[in-house]
Structure 1
Amino acid sequence: MTVHAVILAAGRGTRAGPGAPKQYRDLGGATVLRRAVEALRAAPGVNGVRVVIHPEDRAAYEAAVAGLDLPPPILGGATRAASALAALETLAAEGAAPDDLVLLHDAARPFPSPRLIAQVIAALARHPAACPALPMTDTVRRAAEGGLAGATLDRAGLVRAQTPQGFRLGPILRAHRAARDAGRHDAATDDVALAQAAGLDVALTPGDEDNAKITTAQDLRRARALAAARRAAQGGRMDIRIGSGFDVHAFGPGDHVTLCGVRIPHERGLTGHSDADVGLHAIADAIFGALAEGDIGRWFPPSDPQWRGARSEIFLAKAAERVRARGGRIGNVDCTLICERPRIGPHAEAMRAEIARILDIPAERVSVKATTTERLGFAGREEGIAAQASALIVLEGEA
């Protein structure tokens, strides 16, 4: 089952005050949109993120997500509902299955937590739709004419809906199309309303006060204060972690091997579900291990055909994303390749540079070296190549 996250970022955000649309405003060193993208990309279970943008915002979008290697953005419509429908139609046209899960999220909510996202995904195993929500705790009144307080409303059963709202692709796409054809599509303020109109039951999952939507200039100031508070909290404590990883792949047919992201000509290739890069696999597992978040197999199951032949830099980049999502940084990585041939020395510097690029750390924090087994064992018999790696990470604020 594939989980597609869609971030709706085509709005103009005029109530946030003068300046760029709110999704492109700075929020403690990163734009509002980038924080939302990184949060969803790093969430366990999410397989990919698509962003819907206004046609005039292409340059601002490219600057906001630089270096994240996202698929091309989807051009949105004049309303939120039109933008959501454009995304759903795009996913379907690109081959997404009707039973795939779709998370529709507002770009103006930059702080969705991993727990909130996971609870929405989990609810979709039992319900056709899910929405995070918070109970209404304040007294609710109508506003009367002249700026006076009107009648008090019963708040029992009232909640504040948040995003991401989750659905299966087929049913929510049909709900959007039906609303469009009936002329009531553009009036919908969220996707839950369209789902309910189509007869879908929507489960409520716990919301999060930090997942507040930025609408006004005051909301933006509050979000910046939250970002600053998180940085301050992280700066006072450090949790140093060390992880180790090991991987091995057998030789098979081919004319090259890929080791630590570098293609090396060889009379045989390495066999594996992905590109069989033992070096990057070992480093990724070391980082996942330091985080205590399993291994590559948890995040990229070999039973999933979408990873057949995949570039291993995808796996290592995900491990680095998880470190950033936990408010941490990578101290250094050390990888040892174990083989008789090919010779690693001539390629070691290129490997260091490639690993540093993927992890977005200085090359001086990356070590790549090689050894043999003195002709002993499978590596000595040149039946395959092994790699072992260690990684040190620093999680600020988790100690």
Structure 2
Amino acid sequence: MSDKKSDLSLIIMAAGSSSRFCAQAPAHYRIKKQWIRLGSLPLWQKVANDFKKIYNFKKIIITACDLDFVYMQKICDFEIVLGGKTRWESMQNALEHVQTQAVLISDVARWNLDENVFFNLLEAFDDSTDCVAPYLEVPDTAIYKETYIDRTALKLIQTPQLSRTQKLRCLKNENFTDESSAISANHGKVVYIPGSPKLAKLTYYNDIFALKELPSPSVEIFTGNGFDVHAFEKGKKMVLGGIEIQSDFGFAAHSDGDVALHALSDAILGAIGGGDIGEWFSDEDPQYKLADSKVLLKQIYDFAISIGFQLIHADITIIAQTPKIAPYKSKIHTSIAEILYMDKSRVNIKATTTENLGFIGRKEGIAVMANVNMKFINWKEKI
């Protein structure tokens, strides 16, 4: 890399949905691979820290999907950039924040940094080169469309790859899976160097076995609480805890007004440090007009799972003078347990009145308190 070895930025691609990885896991275990926890540290942060330890990059940029974007910004000091629908779009978004002449791009799925490969990339990058990529040889007999081919001519391409920034910026929007293939297709010079088995990708859930030597998730417990109030509105259907309640009035709200699920949503967000339900679903956004709160709660909890959390227990207190909650408690109990993929023994529903005191006692509305305990998903249980 001549005399410009400090003129280098790093992009870590972590905006993927982990669809292949999550497809093999049950719903309550669908943690995205970039959020596998090592202690309390997510895998993407471990990868960024590893790179930071071995080289003084001008900037370390991490791409994130839209759901993860704000959350990742809250919990780290790295520069988080909103990714796109494809790897190419995510890369181009990240390149807008790069000022260096060269950029190293790595996939978070290649979580095991090989320092020798990294420094060999630097050594091979010269003024005539547009990209340097590591590769593995193919040790087995290879067939392509029923024809045996020369395996010595095959290369399994890995990341990280070191590229000329301006060359990447000029690429057309095509479905390339890495930088070397895109640059080669656009008549750039690509140099290949030996890679490393350490750079194997974490792609499918069964690949998690490769992480067995890494630290287990922290066993700490996270507690969150939520509180919500809604006034009554005549002529509107009442929905509470995901169950329709027989009543002449419902809740005054932008959505269906399910005060129990709103409080529970806030409790989950509190436990994971995810803000509040108003930040997620604005009451000024027309798409949430009369929205089903079961769908909103499921979206929040699915997000919590995707970043590595799971519920241990939920306790919900409904404070109402009217309507009578007792006839519906069992159905509410079952409804909430199903939404949260939990056994009913992990969910508790309580109901009380205010003894005719206050706005609740005057039968003007309902309040709900919710408390949850959560922990990190222990992915090592599956090894």
Cα pair distance change 1:336/1:142, threshold 3 Å: closer
Residue in structure 2 matched with residue 248 of structure 1 by the alignment: 229
Residue in structure 2 matched with residue 189 of structure 1 by the alignment: 175
Query: 1:347 is aligned with what amino acid?
Result: Y
Cα pair distance change 1:242/1:120, threshold 3 Å: farther
Residue in structure 1 matched with residue 43 of structure 2 by the alignment: none
Q: CA deviation at 1:326?
A: 2.8
1:360-371 paired onto structure 2 within 5 Å: 360-371=341-352
Residue in structure 1 matched with residue 303 of structure 2 by the alignment: 322
Residue in structure 2 matched with residue 341 of structure 1 by the alignment: 322
Match of 1:265 among 231, 246, 252: 246
Question: Is the CA contact (8 Å cut-off) linking 1:235 and 1:397 kept in structure 2?
Answer: yes
Query: 2:164 is aligned with what amino acid?
Result: G
Q: Distance in 2 between matches of 1:258 and 1:334?
A: 19
1:367-386 paired onto structure 2 within 5 Å: 367-386=348-367
Q: CA deviation at 1:235?
A: 4.0
Q: Structure 2 stretches of 5 or more lacking a match?
A: 1-14, 36-63, 72-81, 108-116, 125-131, 136-149, 154-160, 183-198
Match of 1:296 among 277, 281, 285: 277
1:162-311 paired onto structure 2 within 5 Å: 188-190=174-176, 227-228=208-209, 233=214, 235-311=216-292
Task: Tell me the secondary structure at the aligned position of residue 371 of structure 2.
Answer: strand
Q: Distance in 2 between matches of 1:270 and 1:321?
A: 26
Q: Distance in 1 between matches of 2:370 and 2:133?
A: 61
Q: Distance in 2 between matches of 1:327 and 1:304?
A: 29
Question: Is the CA contact (8 Å cut-off) linking 1:258 and 1:264 kept in structure 2?
Answer: yes
Q: Distance in 1 between matches of 2:301 and 2:292?
A: 15
Task: Tell me the secondary structure at the aligned position of residue 290 of structure 2.
Answer: coil
Aligned-CA RMSD value: 5.1
Rg larger in structure: 2
Q: CA deviation at 1:228?
A: 3.1
Cα pair distance change 1:224/1:255, threshold 3 Å: closer
Q: Distance in 2 between matches of 1:24 and 1:223?
A: 4
Say if 2:313 is the partner of 1:332: yes
Q: Distance in 2 between matches of 1:142 and 1:40?
A: 27
Identity %: 29
Q: Distance in 1 between matches of 2:134 and 2:298?
A: 50
Task: Tell me the secondary structure at the aligned position of residue 289 of structure 1.
Answer: helix
Q: Distance in 2 between matches of 1:236 and 1:157?
A: 38
Q: Structure 2 length normalisation: TM-score?
A: 0.54
1:11-160 paired onto structure 2 within 5 Å: 23=20, 43-44=68-69, 103-105=84-86, 133-134=105-106, 137=118, 138=121, 139=124, 140=132, 157=164
Q: Structure 1 stretches of 5 or more lacking a match?
A: 10-22, 47-100, 110-115, 149-153, 166-174, 177-187, 197-217
Cα pair distance change 1:44/1:253, threshold 3 Å: farther
Q: Distance in 2 between matches of 1:261 and 1:45?
A: 28
Cα pair distance change 1:279/1:229, threshold 3 Å: farther
Task: Tell me the secondary structure at the aligned position of residue 238 of structure 1.
Answer: coil
Q: Structure 1 length normalisation: TM-score?
A: 0.52
Question: Is the CA contact (8 Å cut-off) linking 2:313 and 2:347 kept in structure 1?
Answer: yes
Question: Is the CA contact (8 Å cut-off) linking 1:238 and 1:396 kept in structure 2?
Answer: no
Q: CA deviation at 1:28?
A: 6.8
Q: CA deviation at 1:269?
A: 1.4
Question: Is the CA contact (8 Å cut-off) linking 1:254 and 1:267 kept in structure 2?
Answer: yes
Query: 2:226 is aligned with what amino acid?
Result: G
Query: 2:175 is aligned with what amino acid?
Result: T
Cα pair distance change 1:35/1:256, threshold 3 Å: same
Question: Is the CA contact (8 Å cut-off) linking 1:338 and 1:386 kept in structure 2?
Answer: yes
Q: Distance in 2 between matches of 1:6 and 1:397?
A: 21
Query: 1:247 is aligned with what amino acid?
Result: D
Cα pair distance change 1:124/1:270, threshold 3 Å: farther
